[in-house]
Amino acid sequence: MTTPFIYGLYDFSSFNIQNKIPIIKVEPKNDCIYTMKKLNDERVACGFSNGNIIIFSKIKFEKEIELNEYHKGAHITFLTQLKNGTFISCGSEGKINFFKIFENKCNLIQTINAHVGKAMKIRELQLNKQLVSCSEDNTLNFYIFEN
């Protein structure tokens, strides 16, 4: 059994709990955390090396939502959230998934087979409704995103 470890860093200063950082135990089945994203003042999302995504409550310090079927056999390379609240995950298999989060559940809006190589990042451009993604396959893809 492998011991889970954190691959990246996250700024826990927004927890605002007077110099005490709680330990959130990661289940061994999730292997290691590859990326993290603060979604709002109440939630943080973690992307794992086995393709799972877990959204934790920063208030209760417990798991709220687990997404484990969208990047099977890949690892999560990047997580972000658009200005309109859409949650996005990128995977090492080249897929980009778009989700809407409602209270304690997350609905898949769309999956794009965006790249041949590992999808590394996706960003919202200043121009309205435009996104750009980059990959290890040396490509940039541009998208128009409609709600």
Enumerate domains of the chain plus CATH numbers. 12-116 (2.40.128.630)
In this predicted structure, which of 11-15, 55-59, 119-123, 135-139 has the lowest mean pLDDT?
11-15
Share of the chain above pLDDT 90, in %: 29
Strand ranges (DSSP E) for 52-124? Answer: 53-57, 62-67, 76-81, 87-91, 95-102, 105-113, 119-124
Confidence of residue 4 (pLDDT cuts 50, 70, 90): very low
What's the whole-number average pLDDT of the chain?
Answer: 79
Range in 34-43, 49-58, 119-128 the model is least confident about: 119-128
Q: What are φ and ψ of residue 30, in 5° steps?
A: -85, -5
Percentage above 70 pLDDT, the chain: 78
Mean pLDDT calculated for residue range 11-33: 54
What is the rounded CA–CA span in Å between residue 66 and residue 55? 6
Going from the C-alpha of 5 to that of each of 16, 26, 79, 91, the distances in angstroms are: 24, 9, 18, 19
Q: How confident is the model at residue 31 (pLDDT cuts 50, 70, 90)?
A: confident
Per residue in 99-116, pLDDT (tens digit) is: 998 878 889 999 999 999
Instruction: Write phi, then psi, for 113 (nearest 5 degrees).
Output: -85, 85
94: left (phi over 0), alpha (psi -120 to 50) or beta: left
